[in-house]
Amino acid sequence: MSKAKGARAERELFHMFYANGWQPIRVAGSGSATIPAPDLLVGNGSRVLAIECKSLKNDKKYVTKEQVKELREFARRFGAEPWLGIRFDNRGWYFLKHKDFKNSEKSFIMSLELARKKGLSFEDLIK
C-alpha cells in the first residue's frame, strides 16, 4: 500500500468515527516510529480502540507478526482494545482481532474471505 493510499484510508476512517460521536486521533509517523504506535486512537468515553489500518486492492494481505505484537503492546500499555482495520477497495471496512488471523511462519494472513467470516463491520465495531 502506498503511503498516500494508506493516509487516505486513515483519514476516511478518522472521519467515520468522528461522524459517529467518537473522538479520533491520527498518530503521526505511526509506521516509522521507533516505539509501538497505532495509526488511529479513538474513544467514546467508555471504550478506547487502537487501530492499525490497512487498505487493500487485492483480497489478501500479509501483516508481520512484529506489527501485530507492537499493536498489542501499545494497546496493553494504553488500556485500549487492539484492532486491525482493513479496507478492501469497493468492499468497505472490516475489523479483526489478531487471534482471528490465519497464521503463517513469519506473518499473519488477512483475506476478504476471513474478514467476512470473522471480522466486524464498522457499525458492529462501534455498537
Domain boundaries, the chain: 3-125
Say which of 30, 32, 55, 107 is annotated catalytic.
30
User: Which of 4-8, 31-35, 43-47, 57-61 comes out lowest in average pLDDT?
Assistant: 31-35
Q: Which CATH number fits domain 3-125: 3.40.1230.10, 3.40.1350.10, 3.40.50.11030, 3.40.50.450?
A: 3.40.1350.10
Residue type, 12: E
Give the predicted TM-score (pTM) of the model.
Answer: 0.91
Residues 6+ apart with CB under 8 A from 25: 40, 41, 42
> Taking all residues of the chain, what is their mean pLDDT, rounded to a whole number?
91
Residue 24 grid coordinates: 479520533
What is the C-alpha separation between 65 and 107, in angstroms, rounded? 5
Ranges 37-41, 59-63, 69-73: which has the least confidence: 59-63
Distance between CA atoms of residues 83 and 30, nearest Å:
15
CA 16, CA 21: separation in Å to the nearest integer? 9
Any catalytic annotation for residue 2?
no
